[in-house]
Amino acid sequence: MQRSPFEPFRNAASEDEIGDCIFKLWQIKAELRREAKRDNTSRQESDIPKLWVLTPTASSKVLSSFGATQKKGWLPGVHFTDNALRTAIVAIHQLPDISETLWLRILGRGSIQEKAILELQSLSIHHPFRQATLELVYNLQKNLRVNQPLEPDDRELIMRLEPLYQQDRELAKLEERRQIIENMLEVRFGSLDSELITLVSTISTLPAKEFTPLLMQLSREELIARFGT
């Protein structure tokens, strides 16, 4: 199955820019047809990826020029072209303010982006949408840097998200360290009871080169005496 390509735009995508994206999709489609012919296999239309154009705003003129309309069951702001073009144009300024659209609204402009950033900052560090949003936005920002010059607004966005991203990276490292410690304790003592589990948080503050020999050498009683509260 082919991945659906995303084409994010920092400024409102013009008709020509969207047309260029669709042209690239048709090149992919032509290559898939050549592969199918070479391999003597058939390709279903559903095998052809769908293009997603992400634009901060989209005028009715631009949308109508591609025959893009909204479909029943999809959120406001998501406009689909005729089936032959296999393209969706996401007008970020029309998206509803819900958690599922947060990662897209952060790519918007002005007040839409500002509100989305504040929403992201207010999420608990353990909220499932927080890490997913940061990962998606960072990946799309990479695409923006490759395809378009980095503007001052882009740099400001990256700077504002960087502390959140680093915080998530540190949390992920801590969770990984905790899992390693729990596994080592379980291997060493056969099981993890509540008394051993209470030690994990304190031990996880140590570097691996320090806690590894301690977990291998100290007895249960010595570990509790040293790291117990």
Specify the 3-state DSSP secondary structure of 144: helix
Residue 93 belongs to what domain range?
A: 1-108
Kindly state whether residue 132 falls inside one of the protein's structural domains.
Answer: no
Q: How far apart, in whole angstroms, are the C-alpha atoms of residue 214 and residue 112?
A: 51
Kindly state whether residue 142 falls inside one of the protein's structural domains.
Answer: no
pLDDT at 140: 66
pLDDT at 152: 72
Of the candidates 188, 190, 173, the residue with the CA atom closest to the CA atom of residue 222: 188
Are 90 and 20 found together in one domain? yes
Which is more confidently placed, 35 or 62?
Answer: 62
pLDDT at 142: 65
pLDDT at 56: 95
- How much is the average pLDDT of 113-141? 80
Q: Which two tokens stand for residue 10?
A: 């920092």
pLDDT at 143: 63
* Winning range, highest mean pLDDT, from 36-45, 121-130, 190-199: 190-199
Instruction: Please state the separation of Cα 81 from the chain's center in Å.
Output: 25
Kindly state whether residue 148 falls inside one of the protein's structural domains.
Answer: no
Kindly state whether residue 155 falls inside one of the protein's structural domains.
Answer: no
Does the pLDDT at position 2 exceed 60?
no
**Which residues share a beta bridge with 91?**
55
Domain closes at, from 58, 81, 108: 108
Which is more confidently placed, 10 or 143?
Answer: 10
- How much is the average pLDDT of 37-58? 84
Are 9 and 100 found together in one domain? yes
The structural domain count of the chain equals 2
Are 17 and 102 found together in one domain? yes
Q: How far apart, in whole angstroms, are the C-alpha atoms of residue 198 and residue 209?
A: 21
Are 92 and 18 found together in one domain? yes
Kindly state whether residue 130 falls inside one of the protein's structural domains.
Answer: no
* Mean pLDDT rounded to a whole number for the chain: 85
Domain closes at, from 81, 108, 135: 108
In sign, the C-alpha dihedral spanning 146, 150, 153, 154 is positive
Q: Note the pLDDT tens digit of each residue in 144-171.
A: 566 556 667 767 777 777 777 777 778 7
Where are the extended beta strands (E) located within 75-140?
Answer: 78-80, 87-91
Does the pLDDT at position 126 exceed 70?
yes
Domain closes at, from 108, 127, 149: 108
pLDDT at 76: 96
Are 102 and 8 found together in one domain? yes
Give the side-chain half-sphere CA count within 13 A for 118. 7
Are 80 and 176 found together in one domain? no
Are 97 and 200 found together in one domain? no
Kindly state whether residue 180 falls inside one of the protein's structural domains.
Answer: yes
Which is more confidently placed, 118 or 163?
Answer: 118
108 close to 56: Cβ distance less than 8 angstroms: yes
Does the pLDDT at position 12 exceed 80?
yes
Kindly state whether residue 22 falls inside one of the protein's structural domains.
Answer: yes
pLDDT at 146: 61
Q: Is residue 132 within a helix (H) or strand (E), and if so which, with residue range?
A: helix 128-147
Q: Note the pLDDT tens digit of each residue in 167-224.
A: 777 877 888 888 999 999 998 888 888 888 888 988 988 888 888 988 989 888 889 8
pLDDT at 149: 63
Q: What percentage of the chain carries pLDDT values higher than 70?
A: 91
Are 25 and 97 found together in one domain? yes
**Which residues share a beta bridge with 79?**
70, 89
Kindly state whether residue 124 falls inside one of the protein's structural domains.
Answer: no
